[in-house]
Amino acid sequence: MNIFRFAGDMTHLISILVLLLKIYATKSCSGISLKTQELYALVFLTRYLDLFTDFISVYNTIMKLVFIASSLAIVWCMRMHRVVRRSYDKEIDTFRHYFLILASFLLAVLVHEKFTFQEIFWAFSIYLEALAILPQLVLLQRSGNVDNLTGQYVFFLGAYRAFYILNWIYRYFTEQHFSRWIACLSGIVQTALYADFFYYYFISWKNNAKLQLPA
Amino acid sequence: NVESEPHDEL
C-alpha cells in the first residue's frame, strides 16, 4: 500500500466520521441526502461480497466492515431515529436514485472483468459509487446554504477520490501489472463530479466566507 | 492470461 492509497482511505474514513459527528452533535441530518446514503450502503454491501471469499489483509477486512456498518448506521438514523429523521429534507431530496441503480446494473452486466456473480456485483458497486454523490450534490444545490460539517463531509469525500487517482498513477509506474481499468475510469468520472463543488469550496475558503452554491 | 485477481483496494 502506498501513501496516496492510505491518504485516500483515511479521508474517506474522516468524511464518514464528520457525517456521524454532524448527526450525533446536532441531532440533525439537514442537508444530507438519504438517497446518496442508501446508495453508499448498497455500494459497500455489493462490493465487499469478497469478505467471505478473499482475504487481503486485516486492514482491508476491518475497513470493509467499518464502511458497511457506518453506512447502514447512517441510513438507519435518517430513517428511524425519532429526532434525527424530522430534520431530513425530504421535499428537496427527490433525485430518482433507482435509475442510477438500474443503469449501473445494466452497465455491470455488459462491462465486467469476468462473468461471475461476484465480479458483476463488484463492477456494479464501482459504477454505482461513481454516481452515488449526485443526489447529495443536487440537494446541496437546491438548498443553497451548506452548513460547515456538511461542506466538510463532501470535501473529504472528494479528497478521497482525488487521492485514489494519485494512487493509481503511482501504481501504474511502480507495478508492471495493471488491470484495474474499470475502477480507474469510473474513479475519474466520480472525481470529475466534484469539480464544481471543489471550485465553490475553495472560493469560500479563500474569502473566509460561508459555502454557498449558486442556484 | 487474464486471470482475475482479488480486488485489493477498498
Domain ranges of chain A: 3-203
Q: Is the pLDDT of residue B4 over 70?
A: no
Q: In degrees rounded to 5, what are phi and psi of residue A82?
A: -50, -45
Which residues of chain A are modeled with pLDDT < 50?
Answer: none
User: Quick one: pLDDT at residue B5?
Assistant: 77
**From the list A5, A50, A164, which residue is nearest B7 (CB)?**
A50
User: Quick one: pLDDT at residue A125?
Assistant: 98
Cβ pair B10:A63 closer than 8 A:
yes
Q: How much is the ipTM here?
A: 0.84
User: Quick one: pLDDT at residue A16?
Assistant: 98
Q: Is the pLDDT of residue B1 over 90?
A: no
Q: What percent of chain B is predicted at pLDDT more than 90?
A: 40
User: Quick one: pLDDT at residue A144?
Assistant: 81
**From the list A60, A113, A114, which residue is nearest B10 (CB)?**
A60
Paired residues of A145 in beta bridges:
A212
Paired residues of A212 in beta bridges:
A145
The CA distance from A119 to the nearest CA of chain B, in Å, is 9
A62: which chain B residues are within 8 Å (Cβ-Cβ)? none
